Amino acid sequence: MKVAILCGGKGTRMREETEYKPKPLVEIGGMPILWHIMKIYSHYGYNDFVLCLGYKGNMIKEYFLNIDWFANDFTLQLGKGKSEITNHAHTTEQWNITFADTGENTNTGGRVNKIRKYVEGDDSFFLTYGDGLADINIPNLLDYHKSKNKIATVTGTKPPSRFGLIKSDSAGIVTSFEEKPIINDTINGGFYVLNKGIFDYLEDNCIFEQDSLPPLARARELAMYQHDGFWQPMDTYKEVEEFNRQWNANIRPWVLW
């Protein structure tokens, strides 16, 4: 099964990082968040990726073409008419990666539509975004999708509130504070399994979340897999800092490998 990852957005809410690089290359612990996402799938044996490129997509190509030098120590020996490089990597990722240019300004559904030729050889494929991490059990997600026999399955999750809550009594006296509790409402966590029938719900520049998912729901062809574990997006520079704080504190719930 292929794993398609949407990597084309401009990340306008975190210009501190994305002015000079695409959002999927923003680093957590010295490695791009895209690498972390791919490691989650790879942990479960899914190593065939299709990257839907857009904004600064050539930087993502360059990163993976040179990943052995970017991610590992190496020795460069100069002179004698040639250069020799000794790579000191302990392991090299056994990944097959297709780099698909889906357009700098293409919307999410249009990006998926443009990679049809790379994924339609299989009955189904995974889809996720290049800016979110979770400790999601991918085989369980796939089994759930198969059990529902629907065109698409979306992962639902309950995120933490962006704000702390104040509780007070009937007299208006504050009784407690609750720091960023988990919200009861379920949101789209961004880890999908899709059958080939999804292409009947896609157009060249449609927005997947607005133009494809609601019609699927009306046709009762959209299932939801509930994920109650860790889930966190990287939409702002503050969230970049939070991911790196967790990494440095060795609090890494998404690191399943």
Residue-range domain boundaries for the chain = 2-74+87-248
Mean local confidence (pLDDT), 246-255: 96
Q: Write the burial class of residue 34 (CB in 10 Å: 0-12 exposed, 13-18 middle, 19+ buried).
A: buried
**Range picked from 58-62, 71-75, 92-96 for highest mean pLDDT:** 58-62
DSSP string for the chain: -EEEEEE----GGGHHHHTTS-GGG-EETTEEHHHHHHHHHHHTT--EEEEEE-TTHHHHHHHHHTHHHHHS-EEEE--TTS-EEEE--S-----EEEEEE--TT--HHHHHHHTHHHHTTSSEEEEEETTEEE---HHHHHHHHHHHT-SEEEEEE-PBPSS-EEEE-TTS-EEEEE-SPBPSS-EEEEEEEEEGGGGGG--TT--IIIIIHHHHHHTT-EEEEEE-S-EEE--SHHHHHHHHHHHHTT--TT---
Say if CB 13 and CB 238 are below 8 A apart: no
Mean local confidence (pLDDT), 104-117: 96
pLDDT at 88: 72
112 vs 80, more confident: 112
Mean local confidence (pLDDT), 91-118: 94
Tokens of 203: 């157009």
Distance, CA of 233 to CA of 239 (rounded, Å): 7
Task: Look at the domain 2-74+87-248 and name its fold.
Answer: Spore Coat Polysaccharide Biosynthesis Protein SpsA; Chain A (3.90.550)
Q: Write the burial class of residue 109 (CB in 10 Å: 0-12 exposed, 13-18 middle, 19+ buried).
A: buried
Q: What is the percent of the chain where pLDDT is above 90? A: 69
Mean local confidence (pLDDT), 127-143: 97
pLDDT tens per residue across span 155-169: 999 877 666 777 887
* pLDDT confidence bin for 246, thresholds 50/70/90: very high
pLDDT at 184: 72
pLDDT at 4: 98
Least confident of 2-6, 16-20, 124-128, 216-220: 16-20
Mean local confidence (pLDDT), 31-42: 97
6 vs 164, more confident: 6
pLDDT at 180: 67
Distance, CA of 235 to CA of 225 (rounded, Å): 23
pLDDT at 190: 95
pLDDT tens per residue across span 173-232: 778 777 766 667 899 999 999 999 999 999 999 999 999 999 999 999 999 999 999 999
Distance, CA of 117 to CA of 15 (rounded, Å): 33
Q: Token match 């809550």: residue?
A: 165
Mean local confidence (pLDDT), 22-37: 95
pLDDT at 181: 61
pLDDT at 197: 96
